[in-house]
Amino acid sequence: MKEIAKAWERELDELHERLAGLFRRAEPRQRSLAYLKGLLGTVERKNGWQLAEWIGEATPDGVQHLLERAQWDPDAARDVLREYVVEQLGEREAVLIVDETGFLKKGEHSAGVQRQYSGTAGRIENSQIGVFLCYAGNGASAFIDRELYMPQSWIDDRPRCKVAGIPDAVGFATKPQLARQMLERALDAGVPCGWVTGDEVYGGDRPLRLWLESRAQPFVLAVKKNEPLWWQGPTTMRADKIAHALPPQAWRRLSAGIGAKGARLYDWALTPLWRLQLSAEERRFGHYLLVRRSLDENREHAYFVVYAPRSKVTRRTLVNVAGRRWEIEIGFEATKGECGLDQYEVRRWQGWYRHVTLALLAHAVLAGLRAQAKKNS
C-alpha cells in the first residue's frame, strides 16, 4: 500500500510541475499540490473542511481561496490534463467518449442547478449536470475535458448568473453542443483518436453527427429505436424497423468487452445505410446501422449509427468501439469514489471548473499508473 501511495505521489509531483507556471503566487501553487494529494489521499469526504484539515490548516479559507479567488486559469490546467493523458494513454485508434453526469445539490444557488433529470439518481432531482469527454486509449481511460451545462432558465436570468459568477459571454448550449465544443478542442489539438462514441443524447443529435462527418471523424453513436434512417433508398425507416427486417443470418454473437461478470456477450447485426455520395472522397466513407440484441428472454435491442472509412469497417471493430463507451461510466464512478469529483461545496461557476479540473487531474494520475502497470505485467 505504501509503495502505491509513493508511486502516485511521485507521479503527482511531476505532473504538478507542469501546472506550477499557472500560478502567480507561491501560496496557491503549493496549496494546489496539497489539494491534489488530498483528493488522492485518505480523506473520508473531500470537501473544504476535511481537505483543509488533511493539508494541516485550521479553516477551509485557504482551500476556498484556491477554488474561488486565487489567480489561475482552469482551462490552461485542462490543457495540461489533456496533454498528460495523451502522453500516458495515446494511441491512433483510441476512442473519445462523451457523456454527462449529475451532481445532486440542495438549494438553488449553485451555478446551473435546477430540478432536472440526473442519470446519477436515475430520476429528476435538484442537480447540476456536467458534460465530459473521456479518452479511452492504451490500457486505461481518463477524462480530458469538462463543461457545466447551463439550463435556459439560468441563461435568461442574468442577475442570477452574475451572483453565481457566470461570465456574460456564456450563452445557452445543449449537451450535444457542449460535446462538440470539447471534441473540437481535442481534434484541433491533434489528440490521436480513431473513433468517437456516446449514448443516445449525442447520437440522436444530427447536427453533431454531420459536424463529425465534416471533420472526417469516424463514430459509433447510439440512437433511439425511432431514429429515422435511410436504409435502401431515399425514404427513411425507423432503426427498429430496419433491425426487424434483417434475416437471421445477419446476426453474430460477439463480446463487447469484459465486465464484472466476464465477457459481455450480445448478438450483433450490421447493415449498410443509404446516402447520396457524389465525390470519391465521400464514397470512401460508409454509413451503417449496428444493432445489439441481448441474450436474455427480453431480447432488448440497442442501435448505433456508424460513420467510418469502408476499409476500417468490420463488425468486430465496431463492437469494440461501442463496448468502450462503458469506460466513461466506470470513470465517473472512479473519479467520484477515489478523487472526490462530486464532493465539492463551491457554488460559483469558477469554483466548479477549478475543483472538477483538479479532480480529473488526480484521476488521470491513477489511470496513467494503471496503464503502466498493465504494460509491465
Q: Which residues partner with 141 through β-bridges?
A: 136
Which of 283, 298, 323 is the last residue in one of the domains? 323
Q: Is 146 in the same domain as 292?
A: no
Give the pLDDT band of residue 152 (cuts 50, 70, 90). very high
CB 352 within 8 A of CB 148: yes
Identify residue 118 by its one-letter amino acid code. Answer: S
- Would you put residue 316 in left (φ > 0), alpha (ψ -120 to 50) or beta? alpha
pLDDT at 120: 80
Domain count, the chain: 2
1 has pLDDT over 50: no
Within a domain: 202: no
Q: Is 134 in the same domain as 178?
A: yes
CB 178 within 8 A of CB 146: no
Q: CA 75 to CA 236: how far, in whole Å?
A: 42
Within a domain: 204: no
Backbone angles phi, psi at 106, to 5 degrees: -100, 150
Q: Is 73 in the same domain as 181?
A: yes
One-letter-per-residue 3-state SS of the chain: CHHHHHHHHHHHHHHHHHHHHHCCCHHHHHHHHHHHHHHHCCCCCCCHHHHHHHHCCCCCHHHHHHHHCCCCCHHHHHHHHHHHHHHHHCCCCCEEEEEEEEEECCCCCCCCCEEEEECCCCEEEEEEEEEEEEEECCCCEEEEEEEECCCHHHHCCHHHHHHCCCCCCCCCCCHHHHHHHHHHHHHHCCCCCCEEEECHHHHCCHHHHHHHHHCCCCEEEEECCCCEEECCCCCEEEHHHHHHHCCHHHEEEEEEEEECCEEEEEEEEEEECCCCCCCHHHHCEEEEEEEEECCCCCCCEEEEEEEEEHHHCCHHHHHHHHHHCHHHHHHHHHHHHHHCCCCCCCCCHHHHHHHHHHHHHHHHHHHHHHHHHHHHC
What's the rounded mean pLDDT across residues 17-24?
94
CB 303 within 8 A of CB 290: yes
Give the pLDDT band of residue 2 (cuts 50, 70, 90). low
Within a domain: 72: yes
pLDDT at 374: 80
pLDDT at 55: 85
Q: CA 219 to CA 232: how far, in whole Å?
A: 21
Q: Is 13 in the same domain as 116?
A: yes
Which of 323, 339, 355 is the last residue in one of the domains? 323
pLDDT tens digit sequence for 181-222 = 999 999 999 999 999 999 999 999 999 999 999 999 999 999
Q: CA 265 to CA 292: how far, in whole Å?
A: 10
Q: Is 337 in the same domain as 318?
A: no
Q: Which residues contact 136 (CB under 8 A, 6 or more apart)?
A: 89, 94, 95, 96, 97, 324, 327, 328
Q: CA 64 to CA 79: how far, in whole Å?
A: 23
Give the residue, 360 or 41, on which the prediction is more confident. 360
Q: CA 51 to CA 340: how far, in whole Å?
A: 10
What's the rounded mean pLDDT across residues 62-73?
94
Within a domain: 142: yes
Q: Is 174 in the same domain as 33?
A: yes
Q: Is 13 in the same domain as 153?
A: yes
Please, what is the average pLDDT of the chain?
93
- Which of 320, 311, 262, 263 minimizes the C-alpha distance to 290? 320
Within a domain: 133: yes
9 has pLDDT over 80: yes
pLDDT at 3: 57
pLDDT at 5: 59
Q: Is 86 in the same domain as 59?
A: yes
Identify residue 202 by its one-letter amino acid code. Answer: Y
Q: Which three cell numbers stand for residue 115?
A: 430540478
Lowest pLDDT segment from 115-124, 136-145, 242-251:
115-124
CB 359 within 8 A of CB 335: yes
Which of 293, 308, 323 is the last residue in one of the domains? 323
Within a domain: 366: yes
CB 66 within 8 A of CB 354: yes
- Which of 372, 377, 374, 306 minimizes the C-alpha distance to 11? 372
Give the residue, 164 or 6, on which the prediction is more confident. 164
What's the rounded mean pLDDT across residues 76-96?
97
Q: Is 319 in the same domain as 333?
A: no
pLDDT tens digit sequence for 257-316 = 887 788 899 999 999 998 777 677 778 999 999 999 999 988 999 999 999 999 989 999
Q: Residue 251: how many CB atoms within 10 A of its CB?
A: 16
**Domain housing 364:** 2-193+328-376
Q: Is 176 in the same domain as 35?
A: yes
CB 175 within 8 A of CB 159: no
Within a domain: 89: yes
Q: Is 314 in the same domain as 342?
A: no
Q: Is 185 in the same domain as 241?
A: no
By CB atoms closer than 10 A (0-12, 13-18, 19+), residue 78 is: buried
pLDDT tens digit sequence for 344-364 = 999 999 999 999 999 999 999
Within a domain: 200: no
